[in-house]
Amino acid sequence: MSIVTLKDLLNDSKQKKYGVFATNAFTFEMAEVVIAAAEEKKSPVILMIAEDLFEHLNPEKISPSIIPMIRKAKVPIVFHLDHGMDFETVSKSMYYGFNSVLYDGSRYPLKQNIKIMKKLRKSSNQLGVSLEGEVGHVGGLESGERDIEKQHIDSDKYTKIEDALEFISETRVDALAVAIGTIHGNFRFKPDLDFKRLEEINDAVDVPLVLHGSSGLSDQDFKRAISCGITKINYFTGLVSVATKKTRETVCKNDSFSYLTLNKIVMESVKEKIKEKMDIFGSTGKA
Ligand SMILES: [Zn+2]
């Protein structure tokens, strides 16, 4: 089991119609908890570090510890770079041991997004690294929109089928992130996803589809998205919220808790949330 490619894992989830939970580790304990949750649920999982979290967990230093943990795991795990924002970072990350990377060129015009991805394809092929691309643009916190009050969904930036087709035929990515109404960070409003568009994209392309910015979605939204072709679900903000809430509750209840106990309680709550989502995504027992 242990380390598998994104390509192999998502082809299995596409065929069997389940969603793979994908989240970012922001501490070493968080990486351990993601793996433990997957093992307890006998579920595959995608362990990610986003470029904007490198200040918390630097893969250059930490990968030599995380990768052996993944190799020893009893379930299939992908070690994935989330939202690599430029060619240099993504190229370097392949040498840190990520066996899958997202180059996020979604803020650029399609042609430029394609051009950079094609350049990355050369090294990813040599190293056996899977590639995720993004066409259309999922807005929110990871795209520099730090002021949550300004958060809005711009349907002009939803993924267009003809763009997705052109991108895939040019780049041969292994997975495609689509914009259909989700947002990075906490939703300020009730999500209203464009499932019709998702179905049309899924009918038109053969690569597995990825949903970003999914923390505010309902169980029904997740199930419907998976039935319409979503195979990888990035879920992060919801875990940070659970950790923050549990920390506050625990400290308020008893301020004599040691940090060690606190850390254990908080990480346990994060693990439970991950396991809950694995059940909803239908990946439990699929390892
Ligand atoms: Zn994302």
Say how many Å lie between the CA of residue 81 and the centre of ligand 1.
11
Whole-angstrom distance, CA of residue 209 vs CA of residue 229: 6
Q: Tell me the CA–centroid distance for residue 51 and ligand 1, in Å.
A: 11
Backbone conformation region of residue 154, classed left if phi is above 0, alpha if psi is from -120 to 50, else beta: beta
What is the SS3 assignment for 220? Answer: helix
What letter would DSSP give residue 156? G
Please, which pLDDT band fits residue 187 given cuts at 50, 70 and 90?
A: confident
Distance 251 CA to ligand 1 centre (A): 31
Q: How far, in Å, is the centroid of ligand 1 from the Cα of 239?
A: 14
254 band by pLDDT with thresholds 50, 70 and 90: confident
Pairing of strands 130-135, 175-178: parallel
User: Nearest to residue 271, comparing CAs of 29, 74, 10?
Assistant: 29
What is the percent of the chain with per-residue pLDDT over 70, rounded to a whole number?
95
Residue 263 has pLDDT above 60, yes or no: yes
E strands, 136-255, in order: 175-178, 209-211, 230-234
CB atoms closer than 10 angstroms to residue 56: 14
Q: Does the pLDDT at position 260 exceed 60?
A: yes
Rounded to the nearest angstrom, the distance between the alpha carbon of 128 and the centre of ligand 1 is 23
Mode of pairing for the β-strands spanning 77-84 and 100-103: parallel
- Residue-wise pLDDT for 29-43, tens only, equals 999 999 999 999 999
**DSSP for 50-67?**
EGGGTTTS-HHHHHHHHH
Ligand 1 centroid to 133 CA: how many Å?
A: 11
Residue 94 pLDDT exceeds 60: yes
How much distance in Å is there from the Cα of 182 to the middle of ligand 1? 10
| 23 Cα–ligand 1 center, Å | 10
- Per the CB < 8 A criterion, the answer to whether 14 and 226 are in contact is no
Please write the tens of the pLDDT for every residue from 112-148: 999 999 999 999 999 999 999 999 988 776 545 555 5
Global pTM value: 0.95
How crowded is the C-beta side of 284, counted as CA atoms within 13 Å? 12
User: Who contacts 196 (Cβ-Cβ below 8 Å, separation ≥6)?
Assistant: none
Active site members: 82
Please identify which residue in the block is written with the tokens 């119609």. 17
User: Is the pLDDT confidence value at 149 over 90?
Assistant: no
C-alpha–C-alpha distance, residues 28 and 97, integer Å: 16
Residue type at 259 in one-letter notation: Y
Report residues near ion ligand 1: CB below 5 Å.
212, 234
> What is the residue type of 98?
F
The overall average pLDDT reported for the chain is 93
Residue 143: predicted pLDDT:
47
In the numeric block, the tokens 């793996």 are attached to 35
